[in-house]
Amino acid sequence: MVGITWKEMITISTNLVDILKDPSQYLYHDSHQTNILEPNRDIRHTAGLISDPNIQLICSDESFSIAASKVRTSVVNITCDQISPDIKGAGDTTFDDPTPNLRILGGIGSGLVIDSRGYILTCYHIIANAKNVYVIPFGYDENKLKATIMTTDKRTNLAILRINCPYPLPAATIGDSDLMEIADIVLAIGNPFGLEQSVTHGIISDNRRDLLIKGIVYKQMLQTDAPINRGSSGGPLVNMNGEVIGINMAIYSTTGVYNGVSFALPINQAKRLMAKYVP
């Protein structure tokens, strides 16, 4: 190279090797200048180069997928032979009541496997006017299994069913709804309009909402903007750890379909019923 002696070329090569070994020592920035060749500075203005196999990129979409996969196989479709339409109560906050048309689409609601022996948690209003209730587990090729109603609780709008399944069912992991804060991300999983195991997402809009529905006050409900439609009731509301923290059951709407406001019963309110009827 013209104008550079061989001794200078050796010095440049040595400096390049040092820079490649630890480039963080040569990075310096202040408000006046940028100098990349200051290896002997006492104060370092950067955090340095960190190499650790535990460092990885985080993708929110991937986190959604992981959380959903932990619960989705525990969500079941609930149907029946016949159902009578319920009388709509006053006000715009209602359960997403099943209708005869919804049954034709493939199901009247959703449920959650809470025990591998065939115990299913769902909403009372789904089965209240249904004749001959059946459960279709995830991946069961739409084979209906006759369900026995173990108990119902109008106060919490819950019901526990049981089916005899030829294999153990994947039970969901139950979380702690008291830990949910406003703006926490959640997933809603259910069978809206008979579309099995559909997943939507949103946030907790409020975690202490009291609702009056059909003459009953439901205390401290979880409000969310995760879409819930007819057929979604009885499905789980899930945190980002893949734990069930609520049971979807109501919407605020003037049209009868999702309008941006949904409600779920905190799972902690269901634990007493589950402990009593699931041995």
In this predicted structure, what is the pLDDT of residue 108? 84
pLDDT at 253 over 80: no
The 3-state secondary structure of 253-272, one letter per residue? CCCCCCCCCEEEEEHHHCHH
Quick one: tokens of 227? 């879409």
Q: What does DSSP assign to residue 25?
A: G
pLDDT at 131 over 60: yes
Q: Is 238 left (phi over 0), alpha (psi -120 to 50) or beta?
A: beta
Q: Report the distance separating Cα 126 and Cα 123, nearest Å.
A: 6
Q: What is the pLDDT of residues 36-45, one digit of tens each?
A: 444 554 444 4
Cα-based distances in Å from 147 to 81, 111, 159, 179:
12, 12, 12, 33
* Burial (CB count <10 Å: 0-12, 13-18, 19+), residue 49: exposed
Quick one: tokens of 45? 């203005």
Domains of the chain, by residue range, sit at 6-56, 64-276
Nearest residue to 271 via CA among 103, 170, 76, 121: 121
Nearest residue to 95 via CA among 223, 219, 222, 251: 251
In this predicted structure, what is the pLDDT of residue 67? 95
Q: What is the pLDDT of residues 137-170, one digit of tens each?
A: 998 666 889 999 999 999 999 999 999 998 899 9
| Cβ contact 131:82 at 8 Å | yes
Quick one: tokens of 151? 């108990």
Torsion angle, alpha carbons of 146, 147, 148, 149, to 10: -150
For domain 64-276, is the CATH number 3.40.1180.10? Answer: no
Q: What is the pLDDT of residues 61-120, one digit of tens each?
A: 668 999 999 999 999 999 988 777 665 554 555 565 554 554 454 578 999 999 999 999
